Amino acid sequence: MWPSSPSATIKIQFADGLDHAKPHPAKGYKFPKLSSYRIDRMTRQKPQEYTLFKRWPRWTLWLTGVAIVTLYVWAFYFFFVSPTGFRWRAIYGDPHYPDGYEIRGIDISHHQGKINWDRLHNAMINGSPVRFVIIKATEGNKYVDENFEQNFALAKDNGFIRGAYHYLSLSTPARSQAYFFISKVNLEPGDLPPVLDVEHKPKDMSVEDFQLEVLTWLHIVENKYQVKPIIYTYYKFKDTYLSDERFDGYPYWIAHYYVDKMEYRGDWKFWQHTDAAKLPGINGYVDLDIYNGSFYDLKQLLIPAPTQEEDNEQLDTITINDDSIDLDDD
């Protein structure tokens, strides 16, 4: 505060370091420039302190911190660890096998490389032998799996129930893919029905058109082998795109990984429950599958042997052909 008396003097230390005793500024004295340091000290205000957390007891802060960390750990486990937990266990030598099923098998392709069938013949899955092997055969209307013929023959030679599947690629018409599969795969009585692997719908194709393409393949192949093909797909894909009643009569092979039990609520015959199993005779990982039923039920699903009438028709055809050949020779 300035002195009230006009004749009073004040002492201020200026930037030159000297004390200047001068009259009151009302008499027209012009003060030298104050140092910035002095101005700061004269004008600086005490920082405002935040008191939000000071209102709470210290133990509530600790409790809140622990709760936040716990929530973070739970969310990380639920969204990232739990969905693939069984896969991690399988990769590190602790596989998980769903309980309540006895008939087990595998599916293979060229990704498994060259298989030692002698070792695989004696392999066990959770105490149960490998009963069936489903083998990739074709894809699209040009591709044949490079190991199909060898795997398909050796699976039968080693006493496995065998099957063959086609991967549906809608870059070409389903009709041509069906006839391509038939031309490359010679299924016999005692084999599993043909399998159609359906996993993707083109973005530019309507659901109705997509379903018609799938049905086209199924009908052509069913007409050839006189047995309903098996449809392989993911359970969410089935609910989204194949829930039409026209697909209800087909056996389903559902892929649903790393869970204790099947979440698909419809009828299913096979369950592919992991893609990270290890078995003797196979280098790398292999898919494991479960059949939903007894071994007797599985045998009933296989392609049946021709009936007596069908055998007679085949014999008549052969006889007619032989007679025609004889007549031509004469």
Amino acid at 285: Y
Residue 124 shares a structural domain with residue 151: yes
Report the chain's mean pLDDT, rounded to a whole number. 80
pLDDT, residue 90, reads 46
Domain coverage including residue 23: 9-43
Residue 83 shares a structural domain with residue 145: no
Catalytic status, residue 199: yes
pLDDT at 132 over 50: yes
Does any domain span residue 160? yes
Task: Looking at 52-194, list the stretches that DSSP marks H as alpha helix, in order from N- to C-terminal side.
Answer: 58-76, 85-91, 117-121, 148-157, 174-184
Place of tokens 């302190």: 49
pLDDT, residue 264, reads 84
**Which of 48-57, 136-145, 300-309 is predicted least confidently?**
48-57
Residue 73 zone, left/alpha/beta (φ > 0; ψ -120 to 50; rest): alpha
**Which of 13-27, 116-130, 220-234 is predicted least confidently?**
13-27
pLDDT at 92 over 60: no
Residue 133 shares a structural domain with residue 221: yes
pLDDT at 83 over 50: no
Does any domain span residue 36? yes
Residue 69 shares a structural domain with residue 39: no
Mean pLDDT of 137-166: 97
pLDDT at 153 over 50: yes
Amino acid at 294: S
Residue 105 shares a structural domain with residue 70: no
pLDDT, residue 257, reads 87
Does any domain span residue 288? yes
Does any domain span residue 17? yes
The predicted-structure confidence for 249-258, as pLDDT tens digits, reads as follows 999 999 998 7
Residue 139 shares a structural domain with residue 259: yes
Report the CATH number at residue 184: 3.20.20.80
Give the H/E segment covering residue 277. Answer: strand 270-277
pLDDT, residue 84, reads 45
Residue 130 shares a structural domain with residue 157: yes
pLDDT, residue 31, reads 55
What phi and psi, each to the nearest 5 degrees, are found at residue 178?
-65, -45
pLDDT, residue 328, reads 41
In contact, 117 and 153? CB cutoff 8 Å: no
The predicted-structure confidence for 268-306, as pLDDT tens digits, reads as follows 999 999 988 999 999 999 999 999 999 999 999 999 988
Catalytic residue among 139, 149, 188, 199: 199
Name 135's Cβ contacts closer than 8 Å, sequence gap at least 6.
107, 108, 109, 145, 148, 151, 152, 155, 162, 163, 164, 165
Residue 197 shares a structural domain with residue 230: yes
In contact, 72 and 80? CB cutoff 8 Å: no
**Which of 65-79, 144-158, 218-232 is predicted least confidently?**
65-79
Place of tokens 């194709």: 205
Strand partners, 162: 133
pLDDT at 95 over 90: no
Residue 295 shares a structural domain with residue 155: yes
Residue 118 shares a structural domain with residue 85: no
Q: Which two tokens stand for residue 301?
A: 């699903």
Q: For residues 233 and 101, what is the distance between their CA atoms, to the nearest angstrom?
A: 20
Does any domain span residue 281? yes
pTM of the model: 0.69
pLDDT, residue 35, reads 55
Does any domain span residue 16? yes
The predicted-structure confidence for 199-222, as pLDDT tens digits, reads as follows 999 999 999 999 999 999 999 999
pLDDT at 105 over 70: yes
In contact, 194 and 186? CB cutoff 8 Å: no
pLDDT, residue 235, reads 87
Residue 188 CA to chain centroid, in angstroms? 32
pLDDT, residue 53, reads 55
pLDDT at 195 over 70: yes
Does any domain span residue 49? no
Task: Looking at the chain, list the stretches that DSSP marks H as alpha helix, in order from N- to C-terminal side.
Answer: 36-43, 58-76, 85-91, 117-121, 148-157, 174-184, 207-225, 235-241, 295-301, 308-329
Residue 249 shares a structural domain with residue 197: yes
308 or 287: whose pLDDT is higher? 287
165 or 50: whose pLDDT is higher? 165
3-state secondary structure of 288: strand
Residue 231 shares a structural domain with residue 160: yes
Mean pLDDT of 152-181: 97
Does any domain span residue 309? no
Mean pLDDT of 310-318: 50
How many domains, the chain? 3
